[in-house]
Amino acid sequence: MKRVYNFSPGPSVLPLPVLEKAAAEMCDVNGTGQSVMEMSHRSKDFKPIIEKTEALLRSLMGIPEDYKVLFLQGGASLQFSMAPLNLAAVPEGEPKKRALYVDTGIWAKKAADEASKYVEVSIPASSKDRAYTYIPQAPAPAHGDAYYHITLNNTIVGTRWPSVPDTGSVPLVADVSSCILSETLDVRKFGILYAGAQKNLGPAGLTVVIIREDLIGHASSRTPALLRYDIHAGEASMYNTPPCHAIYMTGLVLQWLEDLGGVTAIEKINREKAGLFYSYLELSKHFVSPVEKNSRSLMNIPFVPRETDGEKRKRIEDRFVKEAAAAGLVNLAGHRLVGGMRASIYNAMPIEGVRSLIQFMETFERSLN
């Protein structure tokens, strides 16, 4: 069987034991004689699957009892609308409420732009002035603000909040798509956490929302049913057909993580992987990380040639990505909006993959001398 080291930012690498178990159960899961993809979501066969997935997530993240876990669809991008629609509704004709958004990259900006349709968006801090290569100091919210939004890990530019801002009584809402379960996180510091599954949880198609119960039930009557947290919470994520197979796969990934030792264990591995790669870049003659040290992501590591000539730099990048793929190191091109290269080293990326990438880069560098 041929397997490459897949550094894709998403959909991303999945643990091999998970894929093997899913393959073995493709036609018969849990002795039911059915594939999960054939099951009714309301059946006695699927109920234990979704319940176990939620229980594992609660255990691994330490989710308090007064938080709901919702299994939704639409990707993290749909949460750009759902959060303001549910947290900042006002009667028709009244002024919009204000919400704060810290601008730390392309996805953070998209979230703010979408929210501006429903709330008065204030951006108290931004790192756009230096191409989003750092996390800015975030001012405290004002009393009466509807909520405070951050993107905890910025997939495209490779930055990560070094600490969670204290927003007091104002609910903190965070997009954790590319860092969920990568390191320990105090759920109590947040009003809402949301994540697309396709990076650290499972395959694309599932979105997980973790929401404090007192924040549920505030959408206006005009809000579409599928965009209301209270309806999904009241129906235990079964208001409409959920992404059953993605939930099943996520459950397998969570079981794999628990068997590995949980979030504390994977955080240690992730810090070791990132440390190896950043240490290599610090000593490299031809490649460099564009991100400030105290803002560097554990999950997404952009790197660029030190070459200053634009045309030569582009040739190096194109050659690097092509030759790396031929060596079994795939999906290393940077995002189309920023260029360069990027290694996404999510939970399922083994440390051997990072070592193989470094070994390839050392050989590639010698060819540039």
Mind listing the pLDDT tens digit for each residue in 185-227? Answer: 999 999 999 999 999 999 999 999 999 999 999 999 999 999 9
Q: Are residues 219 and 275 in the same domain?
A: no
253 pLDDT higher than 80: yes
Per-residue pLDDT, averaged over 225-253, amounts to 97
Average per-residue pLDDT in the chain? 96
CA 353 vs CA 4, 110, 253, 276, 357: distances in Å = 9, 32, 19, 11, 6
pLDDT of residue 92: 80
Kindly name the residue from 107, 161, 256, 273 that is annotated as catalytic: 107
- 115-124, pLDDT tens digit by residue? 999 999 999 9
pLDDT of residue 123: 97
Q: Are residues 167 and 311 in the same domain?
A: no
Q: Are residues 152 and 266 in the same domain?
A: no
Q: Are residues 108 and 64 in the same domain?
A: yes
- 296-313, pLDDT tens digit by residue? 999 999 999 998 888 999
State the total domains in the chain: 2
pLDDT of residue 94: 86
93 pLDDT higher than 80: no
Q: Are residues 214 and 334 in the same domain?
A: no
Per-residue pLDDT, averaged over 349-359, amounts to 98
pLDDT of residue 337: 85
Q: Are residues 248 and 321 in the same domain?
A: no
343 pLDDT higher than 90: yes
Express as a percent the part of the chain with pLDDT over 90: 93
Per-residue pLDDT, averaged over 279-291, amounts to 97
1 pLDDT higher than 80: no
Q: Is 175 a catalytic residue?
A: yes
Q: Select from 259, 287, 321 the last residue of a domain.
A: 259
280 pLDDT higher than 80: yes
Q: Select from 259, 292, 323 the last residue of a domain.
A: 259
Q: Select from 204, 234, 259 the last residue of a domain.
A: 259
CATH at residue 212: 3.40.640.10
Q: Are residues 162 and 145 in the same domain?
A: yes
Per-residue pLDDT, averaged over 152-174, amounts to 97
Q: Are residues 219 and 85 in the same domain?
A: yes
Q: Are residues 179 and 90 in the same domain?
A: yes
- The region of weakest confidence among 30-34, 130-134, 140-144, 345-349 is 140-144
Q: Is 145 a catalytic residue?
A: no
Per-residue pLDDT, averaged over 232-240, amounts to 97
Kindly name the residue from 103, 199, 256, 273 that is annotated as catalytic: 199
322 pLDDT higher than 80: yes
Q: Are residues 42 and 153 in the same domain?
A: yes
Q: Are residues 270 and 253 in the same domain?
A: no
Per-residue pLDDT, averaged over 266-278, amounts to 98
Q: Are residues 329 and 277 in the same domain?
A: yes
Kindly name the residue from 68, 145, 161, 175 that is annotated as catalytic: 175
CATH at residue 321: 3.90.1150.10
pLDDT of residue 329: 98
Q: Is 28 a catalytic residue?
A: no
- CB contact at 8 A, 208 and 71: yes
- Enclosing domain of residue 268: 5-11+261-368
Per-residue pLDDT, averaged over 339-345, amounts to 96
